[in-house]
């Protein structure tokens, strides 16, 4: 089904109208009697908070049997990862830790599933993240977030408005506990419930121009805070950027919540061979629920509620190395040094590159590079848009190597190579790309606002500084905050 057809397909579900999204998942309109604002739209999406589902090799299991194959279900987590070392099987209405009632699913990622839960002690809704049981990154994220939170609260003399604004952009960890299940022991933690991510909100849509400026400024402040505390986020893209929900949602009982937003959408889990399910897997899969507004409905208050989530890839360069080949940022958002030098550690500058691509996407309706393209094609687009003059000589030699020559690094990662002539169309240079990918759509939707000539110049200057090929020549996050566009258009309007 085409995106256009899917977006127009609707059906009824309880008291809410359900719309199938471009990916075939459901979307909910809100009851007129709901205490939540009418524009708080809900719809089903595959990803929330933790970003793109990653390949299975990102963690190892202790299973001694061949992987079980399941019948495919669109929009849910990889069912084969319900095995020792993998996901914890969860069912709607389960009670975890004797206090968290599972209401619906919010999303999934390579390291966790994320659930909407009702805390029966505090009578509030929370986001409950349940990590895989493998001894890897799920145990790091709550520790890093708490370290960041403590470093902000103990900063003492640093009481600037900028620090205050930045401190509100980090997720708040409410509780951390373990759950034991058939696949092992899983680290779980709860966070303040948020709307869906900006990627879902902006699907084929534009943010109002003032909102776009605010979102970009606050995202830059979030990265600044993280870097100032000695951490690299390591996975900046709009699927990991959320917006706070109004507290009025806590006024709904679970029954009222489902009357308003519809019941969870569940699909039976079936093995491909028809055999009975093992205890490792749930009997039903839950299609994720998206809580959020559409981009054109965002307000300045929404933008001020921005939260940068998913610290599962975060690290401290002073105490640990993260090689480029181990970078799991989606390729279209990944800094080029991680592609061309996979055996070399990446650092803060990699975040700045990813932040630049995220800001571009916030300002326009699409990504600066083609997210569906191969690594080779994406690098070709980077060279088209940014120019080849800044490409380091060693990278150029790797890029222009003969088609028959393979170049694989010590970590067995292939280095990008220029696609064969005639295999692709050239992309426009930066100025023209901004006109074609950003301004054209804003002119077509004039109510969303168009960037003026002076502001466009400042934006392009910022993009050139953030998207330099050589990481040592790239702007630091503090230079980003001091840039003309940030100081004149993005940050002054935050407050």
Which H/E stretch holds residue 225? Answer: helix 209-228
Structure-token match 């120019």, residue found: 387
Q: Are 138 and 111 in contact (CB under 8 A)?
A: yes
Please enumerate in sequence order all residues whose Cβ is within 8 A of that of 302, keeping only pairs 6 or more positions apart, or say none: 195, 211, 243, 293
Residue 422 backbone zone (phi > 0: left; psi -120 to 50: alpha; other: beta): left
Which residues partner with 148 through β-bridges?
Answer: none
How many angstroms separate the CA atoms of 312 and 236, rounded? 11
Tokens representing 336 are 């080029």
| C-alpha span between 142 and 176 (Å, rounded) | 8
End-to-end Cα distance, the chain: 43
H-type alpha helices, 15-139: none
Q: CA of 308: how far to CAs of 22, 196, 383, in Å?
A: 25, 12, 29
How many residues appear in the chain? Answer: 495
Q: Using CA atoms, how far apart are residues 186 and 112, in angstroms rounded to an integer?
A: 9
Packing angle of the helix pair 209-228, 348-363 (nearest 10 deg):
170
Q: Is 129 annotated as a binding residue?
A: yes
Q: How far apart are CA 383 and CA 340, in angstroms?
A: 13
Order the strands of the 112-119 sheet from edge to edge: 95-96, 100-108, 112-119, 124-131, 184-192, 173-181
What's the alpha-carbon Rg for the chain, to the nearest Å? 22
| Binding site as annotated, residues for ATP | 129
| Binding site as annotated, residues | 129
């Amino acid at each position: 089904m085409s995106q256009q057809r899917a977006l127009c397909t609707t059906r009824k579900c309880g008291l809410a109208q359900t719309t199938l999204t471009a990916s075939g998942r459901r979307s909910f309109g809100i009851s007129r009697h709901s205490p939540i604002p009418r524009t708080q739209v809900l719809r089903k999406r595959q990803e929330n908070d933790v970003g793109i589902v990653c390949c299975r090799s990102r963690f190892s299991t202790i299973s001694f049997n061949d992987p079980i194959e399941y019948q495919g279900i669109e929009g849910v987590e990889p069912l084969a990862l319900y095995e020792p070392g993998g996901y914890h099987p969860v069912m709607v209405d389960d009670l975890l830790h004797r206090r968290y009632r599972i209401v619906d699913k919010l999303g999934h990622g390579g390291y966790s599933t994320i659930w909407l839960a009702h805390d029966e002690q505090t009578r509030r809704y929370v986001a409950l993240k349940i990590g895989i049981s493998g001894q890897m990154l799920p145990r790091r994220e709550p520790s890093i977030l708490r370290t960041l939170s403590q470093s902000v609260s103990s900063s003492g003399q640093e009481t600037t408005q900028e620090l205050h604004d930045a401190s509100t952009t980090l997720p708040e960890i409410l509780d951390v506990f373990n759950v034991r299940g058939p696949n092992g022991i899983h680290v779980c933690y709860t966070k303040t419930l948020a709307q869906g991510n900006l990627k879902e909100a902006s699907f084929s849509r534009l943010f109002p121009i003032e909102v776009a400026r605010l979102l970009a400024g606050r995202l830059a402040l979030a990265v600044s805070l993280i870097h100032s505390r000695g951490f690299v986020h390591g996975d900046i893209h709009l699927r990991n950027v959320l917006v706070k929900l109004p507290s009025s949602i806590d006024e709904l009982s679970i029954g009222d919540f489902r009357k308003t937003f519809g019941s969870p959408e569940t699909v039976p889990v079936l093995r491909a061979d028809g055999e009975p399910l093992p205890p490792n897997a749930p009997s039903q899969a839950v299609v994720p629920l998206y809580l959020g507004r559409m981009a054109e409905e965002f307000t300045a208050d929404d933008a001020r509620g921005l939260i940068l989530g998913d610290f599962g890839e975060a690290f401290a360069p002073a105490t640990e190395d993260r090689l480029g080949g181990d970078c799991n940022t989606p390729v279209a958002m990944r800094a080029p040094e991680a592609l061309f030098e996979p055996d070399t550690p990446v650092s803060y500058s990699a975040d700045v590159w990813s932040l630049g691509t995220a800001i571009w996407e916030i300002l326009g309706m699409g990504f600066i590079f083609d997210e569906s393209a191969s690594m080779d094609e994406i690098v070709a687009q980077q060279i088209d848009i940014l120019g080849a003059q800044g490409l380091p000589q060693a990278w150029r030699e790797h890029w222009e190597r003969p088609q028959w020559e393979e170049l694989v690094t010590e970590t067995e990662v292939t280095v990008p190579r220029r696609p064969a002539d005639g295999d692709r169309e050239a992309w426009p240079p930066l100025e023209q790309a901004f006109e074609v990918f950003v301004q054209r759509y804003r002119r077509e939707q004039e109510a969303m606002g168009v960037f003026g000539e002076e502001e466009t110049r400042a934006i392009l200057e910022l993009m050139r500084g953030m998207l330099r090929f050589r990481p040592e020549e790239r702007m630091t996050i503090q230079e980003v905050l001091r840039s003309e566009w940030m100081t004149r258009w993005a940050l002054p309007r935050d407050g």
